[in-house]
């Protein structure tokens, strides 16, 4: 058995120990190299890319030599607390680098922010992204990029710049927000005179507390900002001694200009209200912009123009607007007439009940002798065609076709008429409703250029007038109603006096009809939309509407003193981006109460003038009917003296084609006669025609009371013998069948001669 070698003490031989030590030594150096590599990588993260180490040539970083520290800064205990071990580092701030990443503030603040995640509102100082951003100290006299004085070295005149290293200065941004905490700002509150977007005091007082007396989206916004930013506001009026200087500078006695003037000088930190940022105001101080407000042209609706006779006549064509002229021509000249004429083709002469018969029975009376005769006369086809067209138009207007039809062709044609009525009336009604609803808002002018061309006079506040004149330089200032001198105005164009309630006066004196007679009134107004919203929420000036696009957009905002504007404006802008201001706008926007009588909020009321076409067409037909009746009456009076023989219809037909018994005679009466004074007469003596002597009735037994012609007398006697003696107000006696046969035979031969003889005798 082979024996293993081993030393006496059990340790490996010396050569093996050397190998073991060498291996451990190599592992140690490998570990050191890895650690060095990691540290180098960490260091590389702090060093900006090549080209930014020394900063930008526009703002180079300072070397270590010129960076001296003032003794007062060295004695400040906060400096060491802020920098920690870097307090006396000669490389702190030298060259671009993340010099703050190992400061106590960046190392400890993260733990605080972790604990503050559930705090509402969250602390502003928890945005620590600036810790890893690069910066360096720079010479402000040799730097054209963004740089700021270091608060840690307040007495050493050290300035730092993130911009020269290509980074954003988040540190300053965060420090601005933190600087707001605990501050008390002097704020002047102005009460806006109109609209709803500004600040409003219930007593209409400026600069007066308490804060509970104030309302409006701007007030809500600054109160919410104070709570989130943990600062306070003190309602402070401007010093009265500044009033004279404010009036001199702004050339206005406005309290709004007074507050802007005080803020520009630093007597106030900011003013709260909705201010129009005019050119002079913008040059006075810094501004927090709230947005743009549109200035619109406002005119009366058509409801007020209804008193204008010209507008009444212009609206006549409204009821014809659903169809184009070509469509109306096609419907009225082709579709309706053809559908009506086709009824004549199907129904003319189809039985006694037909709406379009081929003949009619008339009563002819001799004015000299008082004798009458009944006769059937043919109806010309053109009369049936005219009647059918009338009935077709009537059916469309009544939305139903009333005349009865009996033939299959007429029934099918009736389906076509019914479908046409169904569809055309539905389409017309829908289009007309849409047009009339749209025309409620319709006005004569569509923009300011139209109003200027029409010679309108305008009502406007002076500041709005000046804004519009900048856009429309050709507009004459004298086209604006002047500030009323009788109640404190200066008599110049545009309302500005404090006693005349300028914003309300713009709407109160908008009356086109009075404007034609009185220069204190105007045809149109120029005002912001918010003013009209407020009046609509009170159900006032509901007859006024906005026309077209804004004639001018006006910037609004709040003035801020320039020493506090960086932190205040940046903070307010952050809240605006977070939606705080917009939420206040939605909560304060008024709801309109302008509704039409008898309708809901969306109902649209139509005026008499808008429906003028209906009145004109309806009464036009009524007047035509009166004219037709008058003409027929005059014609009868004229013919009564000229004609010997008068002709009356025994029955007529109404507008639907149904038969009307005009004279009170029934068909059976024409076959029965009785003797009166020896002359055969119609049986009914109480009819409207009176006792009518029967001369001829084609198709039945003719009886004649005339004895001038022996043939007629003989025929009359033959008729009496055949028919038998009739009873008064009774029917005919029982027929003699033999005499009837003889009569029928003779009637056939003498029919034509009898007719000619009777006509000659009747005409005499």
The strands making up 136-138's β-sheet, listed across from edge to edge, are 136-138, 159-161, 148-149
Of 78-87, 354-363, 469-478, which range is least confident? 78-87
| pLDDT at residue 420, as a whole number | 86
14-37 mean pLDDT = 61
Is the CB of residue 562 less than 8 Å from the CB of residue 198?
A: no
- Give dist(CA 502, CA 628) in Å, integer: 60
- Owning domain of residue 387: 302-439+611-650
Between the CA of residue 685 and those of 347, 696, 730, what are the distances in Å? 35, 18, 12
Q: How confident is the model at residue 66 (pLDDT cuts 50, 70, 90)?
A: low
Asked whether residue 621 falls in the same domain as residue 690, the answer is no
pLDDT over 50 (residue 565): yes
| pLDDT at residue 345, as a whole number | 86
Of 220-224, 303-307, 316-320, 379-383, which range is least confident? 303-307
Is the CB of residue 514 less than 8 Å from the CB of residue 521?
A: yes
Give the strand pairing for 136-138 and 159-161.
antiparallel
Asked whether residue 329 falls in the same domain as residue 432, the answer is yes
Asked whether residue 633 falls in the same domain as residue 682, the answer is no
Contacts of 398 (CB under 8 A, 6+ apart): none
The full 3-state SS of 139-158, as one line of letters, equals CHHHCCCCCEECCCCCCCCC
Give the strand pairing for 200-201 and 214-215.
antiparallel
SS3 337: helix
Q: Which of 160, 180, 200 corresponds to the end of one domain?
A: 180
Asked whether residue 388 falls in the same domain as residue 310, the answer is yes
| pLDDT at residue 80, as a whole number | 67
| pLDDT at residue 11, as a whole number | 46
| pLDDT at residue 6, as a whole number | 43
Closest of 269, 278, 159 to residue 225, by C-alpha: 269
Residue 628 in any domain: the answer is yes
pLDDT over 70 (residue 120): no
| pLDDT at residue 44, as a whole number | 44
Asked whether residue 638 falls in the same domain as residue 736, the answer is no
Number of separate domains in the chain: 3
Residue 392 in any domain: the answer is yes
- Residue 712: other Cβ atoms inside 10 A: 22
Of 349-358, 556-565, 721-730, which range is least confident? 721-730
Q: How confident is the model at residue 127 (pLDDT cuts 50, 70, 90)?
A: low
pLDDT over 90 (residue 480): yes
122-150 mean pLDDT = 82
256-285 mean pLDDT = 94
Alpha-helix runs per DSSP H in 47-141? 71-74, 77-83, 104-115
| pLDDT at residue 115, as a whole number | 60
SS3 481: coil
Asked whether residue 632 falls in the same domain as residue 667, the answer is no
Burial of 595-617, coded b for 16+ CB within 10 Å and e otherwise, reads eeeeeeeeeeebbebbbbbbeee
Is pLDDT larger for residue 575 or for residue 16? 575
Q: What percent of the chain has pLDDT over 70?
A: 63
The listed range with the strongest mean pLDDT (60-64, 204-208, 250-254, 667-671) is: 204-208
- Give dist(CA 226, CA 201) in Å, integer: 19
Is pLDDT larger for residue 322 or for residue 365? 322
Of 130-134, 163-167, 502-506, 732-736, which range is least confident? 732-736
SS3 735: coil
Q: Which of 157, 180, 203 corresponds to the end of one domain?
A: 180
132-160 mean pLDDT = 86
- Give dist(CA 398, CA 418) in Å, integer: 11
Q: Which of 146, 180, 214 corresponds to the end of one domain?
A: 180
Residue 736 in any domain: the answer is yes
Residue 307 in any domain: the answer is yes
| pLDDT at residue 618, as a whole number | 58
Helix H or strand E encompassing 217: helix 217-229
Q: What percent of the chain has pLDDT over 90?
A: 25
**Peptide bond preceding 121: is omega within 30 degrees of 0, i.e. cis?**
yes
Residue 596 in any domain: the answer is no
| pLDDT at residue 440, as a whole number | 54
- Give dist(CA 235, CA 185) in Å, integer: 9
Q: By CB neighbour count within 10 A (0-12 exposed, 13-18 middle, 19+ buried), where does 581 fall?
A: buried
Of 214-218, 244-248, 331-335, 600-604, which range is least confident? 600-604
628-675 per-position pLDDT tens digit: 767 867 876 776 655 555 555 555 555 455 655 544 444 444 434 444
Is the CB of residue 475 less than 8 Å from the CB of residue 469?
A: yes
Between the CA of residue 62 and those of 96, 143, 388, 411, what are the distances in Å? 10, 11, 107, 106
Is pLDDT larger for residue 576 or for residue 730? 576
Asked whether residue 423 falls in the same domain as residue 338, the answer is yes
Residue 260 in any domain: the answer is no
Asked whether residue 646 falls in the same domain as residue 706, the answer is no
Helix axes 565-577, 217-229, angle to 10 degrees: 110
- Give dist(CA 83, CA 265) in Å, integer: 38
pLDDT over 50 (residue 695): no
Expressed in percent and rounded to 5, the helix, strand and coil fractions of the chain are: 45, 15, 40
Q: By CB neighbour count within 10 A (0-12 exposed, 13-18 middle, 19+ buried), where does 516 fall?
A: exposed
The listed range with the strongest mean pLDDT (5-9, 94-98, 736-740) is: 94-98
- Give dist(CA 206, CA 204) in Å, integer: 7
Asked whether residue 616 falls in the same domain as residue 711, the answer is no
Residue 171 in any domain: the answer is yes
Asked whether residue 429 falls in the same domain as residue 317, the answer is yes
pLDDT over 90 (residue 149): no
Asked whether residue 431 falls in the same domain as residue 323, the answer is yes
- Give dist(CA 262, CA 249) in Å, integer: 12
487-521 per-position pLDDT tens digit: 888 889 999 887 788 889 999 999 888 888 899 99
Residue 645 in any domain: the answer is yes
Backbone angles phi, psi at 6, to 5 degrees: -160, 145
Closest of 79, 54, 84, 59 to residue 69, by C-alpha: 79
Region for 699 from its dihedrals, namely left if φ exceeds 0, alpha if ψ lies in -120 to 50, beta otherwise: left
Please report the sign of the dihedral spanned by the C-alpha atoms of residue 631, residue 634, residue 635, residue 636.
positive
70-117 per-position pLDDT tens digit: 667 666 666 666 676 665 567 788 889 888 887 777 776 555 566 665
DSSP 287: E
Helix H or strand E encompassing 420: helix 408-439
- Give dist(CA 423, CA 428) in Å, integer: 8
Asked whether residue 313 falls in the same domain as residue 435, the answer is yes
DSSP 493: B
Closest of 416, 366, 365 to residue 392, by C-alpha: 416
- Residue 109: other Cβ atoms inside 10 A: 18
């Amino acid at each position: 058995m082979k024996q293993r070698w081993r030393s006496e003490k059990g340790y490996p031989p010396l050569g093996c120990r050397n190998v073991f030590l060498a291996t451990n030594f190599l592992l140690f150096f490998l570990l050191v190299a890895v650690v060095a590599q990691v540290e180098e990588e960490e260091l590389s993260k702090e060093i900006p890319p090549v080209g930014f180490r020394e900063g930008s040539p526009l703002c180079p970083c300072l070397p270590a030599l010129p960076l001296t520290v003032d003794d007062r800064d060295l004695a400040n205990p906060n400096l060491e607390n802020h920098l920690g071990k870097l307090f006396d580092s000669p490389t702190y701030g030298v060259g671009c680098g993340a010099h703050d990443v190992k400061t106590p503030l960046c190392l400890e603040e993260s733990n605080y922010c972790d604990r503050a995640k559930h705090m509402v509102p969250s602390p502003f100082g928890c945005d620590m992204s600036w810790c890893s951003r690069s910066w360096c100290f720079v010479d402000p006299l040799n730097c054209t990029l963004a740089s700021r004085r270091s608060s840690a070295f307040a007495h050493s005149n050290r300035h730092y710049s993130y911009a020269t290293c290509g980074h954003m200065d988040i540190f300053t941004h965060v420090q601005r927000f933190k600087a707001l905490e605990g501050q008390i700002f002097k704020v002047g509150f102005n009460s806006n005179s109109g609209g709803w977007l500004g600040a409003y005091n219930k007593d209409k007082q400026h600069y007066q507390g308490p804060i509970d007396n104030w309302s409006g989206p701007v007030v809500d916004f600054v109160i919410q900002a104070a709570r989130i930013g943990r600062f306070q506001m003190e309602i402070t009026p401007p010093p009265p001694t500044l009033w004279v200087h404010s009036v001199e500078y702004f050339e206005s006695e406005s309290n709004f200009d007074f507050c802007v003037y005080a803020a520009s000088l630093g007597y106030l930190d900011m003013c709260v209200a909705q201010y129009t940022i005019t050119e002079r105001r913008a040059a006075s101080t810094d501004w927090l912009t709230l947005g743009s407000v549109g200035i619109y042209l406002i005119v009366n609706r058509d409801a007020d123009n209804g008193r204008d006779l010209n507008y009444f006549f212009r609206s006549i064509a409204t009821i014809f607007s659903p169809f184009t002229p070509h469509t109306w021509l096609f419907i009225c000249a082709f579709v309706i007439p053809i559908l009506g004429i086709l009824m004549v083709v199907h129904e003319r002469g189809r039985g006694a009940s037909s709406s379009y018969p081929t003949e009619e029975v008339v009563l002819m009376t001799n004015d000299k002798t008082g004798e009458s005769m009944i006769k059937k006369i043919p109806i010309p086809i053109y009369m049936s065609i005219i009647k059918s067209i009338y009935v077709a138009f009537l059916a469309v207007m009544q939305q139903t076709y009333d005349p009865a039809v009996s033939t299959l062709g007429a029934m099918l044609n009736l389906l076509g008429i019914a479908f046409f009525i169904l569809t055309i009336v539905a389409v017309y009604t829908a289009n007309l409703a849409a047009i009339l609803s749209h025309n409620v808002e319709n006005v004569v002018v569509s923009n300011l250029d139209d109003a200027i061309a029409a010679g309108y006079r305008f009502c406007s506040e002076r500041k709005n007038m000046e804004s519009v004149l900048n856009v429309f330089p050709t507009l004459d200032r004298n086209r604006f109603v002047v500030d009323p001198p009788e109640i404190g105005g200066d008599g110049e164009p545009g309302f500005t006096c404090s006693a005349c309630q300028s914003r309300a006066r713009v709407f109160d004196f908008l009356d086109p009809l009075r404007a034609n007679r009185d220069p204190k009134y105007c045809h149109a107004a120029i005002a912001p939309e918010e003013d009209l919203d407020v009046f609509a929420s009170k159900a006032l000036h509901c007859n006024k509407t906005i026309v077209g696009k804004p004639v001018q957009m006006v910037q609004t905002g709040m003035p801020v003193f320039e020493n506090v504007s960086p932190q205040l404006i940046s903070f307010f802008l952050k809240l605006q981006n977070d939606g705080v201001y917009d939420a206040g706008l939605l909560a304060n926007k008024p709801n309109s109460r302008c509704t039409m009588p008898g309708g809901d909020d969306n109902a649209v009321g139509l005026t008499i003038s808008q429906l003028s076409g209906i009145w004109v067409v309806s009464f036009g037909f009524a007047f035509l009917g009166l004219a037709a009746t008058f003409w027929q009456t005059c014609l009868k009076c004229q013919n009564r003296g000229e004609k010997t023989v008068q002709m009356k219809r025994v029955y007529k037909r109404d507008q639907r084609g149904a038969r009307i018994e005009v004279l009170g005679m029934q068909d059976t009466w024409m076959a029965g006669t009785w003797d009166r004074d020896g002359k055969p007469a119609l049986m009914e003596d109480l009819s409207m025609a009176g006792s009518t002597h029967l001369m001829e009735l084609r198709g039945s037994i003719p009886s004649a009371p005339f004895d001038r012609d022996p043939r007629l007398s003989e025929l009359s006697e033959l008729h009496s013998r055949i028919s038998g003696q009739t009873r008064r107000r009774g029917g005919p006696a029982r027929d003699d069948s033999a005499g009837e046969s003889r009569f029928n035979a003779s009637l056939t031969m003498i029919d034509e001669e009898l007719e000619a003889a009777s006509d000659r005798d009747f005409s005499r």
